[in-house]
Amino acid sequence: RPLLGQHAQRIDARQLANEYDFVVAGGGIAGLTVADRLSENPKVSVLVIEYGPFDQGEDGVMVPGAYFPVPYLWLPLSSTPQKALGGTSYGVPCGRVVGGGSVVNAMFFHRGSAEVYDGWDSLGATGWSWSDLFPYFKKSENFNPPDAKYAAERNITWDKSVHGFGGPVQASYAPYDYPGSANFYNGALRLGIEPRKDPNGGDATGIFRLQRSVDPKTQTRSTARINHYESVKASRPNYHILPNTAVNKILFSGKTATGVDFVGVSDSKSGTVKAKKEVIVAAGAVHTPQILQLSGIGDAKYLQQFKINSVVDLPGVGLNLQDHLVLSVSYNFTNNLFPNGGSLQANTTYATEQRALYDANKPSAFDLTGTTGNLIIQLPLSEWTSSVRSIVSLASKQDPSKLLGGSPNAGVLAGYKKQRKLIIDNLSNDGEAVGDISWNTGPTTTLYMTRPLSRGSIKINSTSILTQPLIDFGAITDPTDLEMLLAIYLKNRELMATPELAGLGPLETSPAPGLKTNEEIKEAIKKTLQPSNAHQCCTAAMVPKQDGGVVDPQNKVYGTDRLSVVDASIWPFVPGGGPQASVYAGAEKAADTIKKRHKLL
């Protein structure tokens, strides 16, 4: 048995045991969730290898109002020039730290609509429907209802029956709000947008208050490190984390994964460790395909040029990359209310006063997540625009083969066509939202397009794990995505023209002030939009192998033994809204699946 200490340990490479039952590559949300659940059994040893360090509990990590800039973003990580965006390259936001995205994200914690997960199930992720995942959403959550008086004042509503109350992730609502959010809420109602009692019950459309992964007792971030490691480590001598170390590749005996090869991020020292039961890949949607490809799992022809021997020819590895598009719309408000979402940055006296309140554990602007508002509007296409038919018709006219670069693998193309059909059918009904508007009451509203038809890719560019892969978002290569973003932009103009918001005197300064024709506006949008909202996913999709799939519904990589993937890479397509609740729930489910497979349940 491995030499394991009394408590769960942060270790360095010298303290590693030779072998563990499970070796987890990547200590982000999914990796730590699975490691925690597997190590519940004291006879099971688990090692997590994480590229980044442990965080130091900095304000930028822990205090919602101090969020952004946040330490531990993976810098510099950049995309390839985006061909539909004039050849510009963009930053690729993701976390590099124990806890992964949960340490750097904006903390919004909510589920997609049932229709998303039912769509996954129908594309071949059998057993991943809304009703299958629902118990895991509950298992992952500890819901903290807000103070009743405050909730009534601010129209915060919820449905207790859809929440979990004993799970690791602390979920709560901010106990503070800027006055302008009432204008946003009332403006939305005037446009006929429906308030949603609770977006976590299977319908995540309408306007609603965002739930966050924040511990309401301390108003600090609930990270995967805290909720899946610190909270259990005292009783887990069988749970090790090796930080500052990159998993380089998976080791195989034939097609059976036997361990991993790793390298120290700062000292470049390499080593290997054995996995007796399974290697579990959880390096996030950007890096999981990189590890798989470096290990010989991917498009054999592509890997050949790097002299990487093919273990399993799986052309879908790294393809199907998806994210949400982001468009910031900036204003000069001639009559905005004070305080507002820009006040903490612009007014030192106010910031000092609010920080003192926060430190005294009283409601404060520091309880708010810096960049985004408390409210969000998420709508299906028909509620953004009356042009649904022409948008659907545009989508139907696209040539999927051309969108995948001209001569795609037949299986990958077949899978993409199935996804497109499902998504395009959904655009015509009132299912999952295609986009969001959020306003933090400061100078900028943020619009998101969350139902992309364009697909990108992750491909290795060298044989070193320490070199970033080629990250191509493929942003708006399907022009339908830009049309959907335009519809959201135009609705935002309508919203800003409602008396509730017009009274604040918003004068648009970017991206398209004064522009009138759709063509002009789209050109202006293209200059401002960001192809990533840090919601990368879907690059090792759980669809049938013949549809370009990478993992089966039990998370196992096709054609291999003792190798699974458990992170956001496995989704067939991206959910609307924040993905982290779906990552936590999916990893809870994967942990149960893996336990069953090894008769540990």
Ligand X SMILES: Cc1cc2nc3c(=O)[nH]c(=O)nc-3n(C[C@H](O)[C@H](O)[C@H](O)COP(=O)(O)OP(=O)(O)OC[C@H]3O[C@@H](n4cnc5c(N)ncnc54)[C@H](O)[C@@H]3O)c2cc1C
Q: Which 8-state DSSP code applies to residue 83?
A: G
> Which tokens in the block code for residue 296?
């010989």
Rounded CA-CA distance 277/499 in Å is 62
Residue 468 vs residues 77, 78, 439, 461, 558: alpha-carbon distances, Å? 7, 8, 34, 7, 25
- Please give the residues from 182 up to 241 whose contact with ligand X meets the rule CB under 6 A: none
Q: Closest separation between CB of residue 413 and ligand X, Å? A: 26
Q: Is the dihedral of CA 239, 127, 473, 104 positive or negative?
A: negative
Among 106, 204, 297, 525, binds ligand X (CB under 6 A): 106
Identify the residue among 16, 29, 116, 488 touching ligand X (CB under 6 A): 29
Nearer to ligand X, 408 or 435 (CB): 435
Please report, as residue ranges, which positions from 380 to 419 form the binding site for ligand X (by CB under 6 A). Answer: none
Q: Does 534 bind ligand X (CB under 6 A)?
A: yes
Name the binding residues. 97, 247, 579-580
Residue 496 lies near ligand X (rule: CB under 6 A): no
Among residues 104, 379, 476, 529, the one that binds ligand X under rule CB under 6 A? 104
* Burial of 426 per CB tally in 10 Å (0-12, 13-18, 19+): buried
Which residues are within 8 A (CB) of 45 and not within 5 positions of it... i.e. 6 or more apart?
Answer: 1, 2, 4, 17, 20, 21, 22, 39, 238, 239, 240
Residue 287 beta carbon to ligand X: minimum distance, rounded to whole angstroms:
3
Burial class from Cβ neighbours inside 10 Å (0-12, 13-18, 19+) for residue 271 reads: middle
Say whether residue 169 binds ligand X (CB under 6 A).
no
Residue 437 CA to residue 207 CA, distance in Å, equals 9
How many residues bind ligand X (CB under 6 A)? The answer is: 39
When CB distances to ligand X are compared, the closest residue is 28
Judge whether 186 and 226 are in contact, CB under 8 Å.
no
Q: Which of residues 263-282 bind ligand X (CB under 6 A)?
A: 282
CB of 436 to ligand X, least distance (A): 12
**Which one, 295 or 354, has the nearer CB to ligand X?**
295
**Smallest gap, in angstroms, from Cβ of residue 24 to ligand X?**
9
Do 524 and 530 form a contact (C-beta atoms < 8 A)?
no
CB 145 → ligand X: shortest distance, Å? 20
CB of 263 to ligand X, least distance (A): 9
Site string for ligand X, 566-585 (x = CB under 6 A): -xx---------xxx--x--
- Integer Cα distance of 224 and 169 in angstroms: 8
Of positions 16, 62, 96, 525, contacts ligand X by CB under 6 A = 96
- Site mask, ligand X, residues 282-321, x = CB under 6 A? xxx--x---x------------------------------
Least distance (Å) between residue 108 CB and ligand X: 4
Q: Among 20, 90, 108, 120, which residue interacts with ligand X (rule: CB under 6 A)?
A: 108
- Residue closer to ligand X by CB (options 409, 461) is 461
If we measure between CA atoms, which residue out of 431, 426, 429, 435 comes closest to residue 378? Answer: 435
According to DSSP, residue 417 is labeled H
**Across-strand partners of 279?**
23, 563
Euclidean distance between CA atoms 476 and 596, whole angstroms: 41
Of 20-28, 113-121, 350-358, 381-389, the segment contacting ligand X by CB under 6 A is 20-28
Q: Does 25 interact with ligand X (rule: CB under 6 A)? A: yes
Site residues for ligand X, 427-486, by CB under 6 A, read 465
* SS3 assignment for 176-195: CCCCHHHHHHHHHHHCCCCE
CA–CA distance, 467 with 107 (Å, rounded to integer)? 29
Q: Could you list the residues that contact ligand X (CB under 6 A)?
A: 25-30, 49-52, 93-97, 100-102, 104-108, 246-247, 282-284, 287, 291, 465, 534-535, 567-568, 578-580, 583
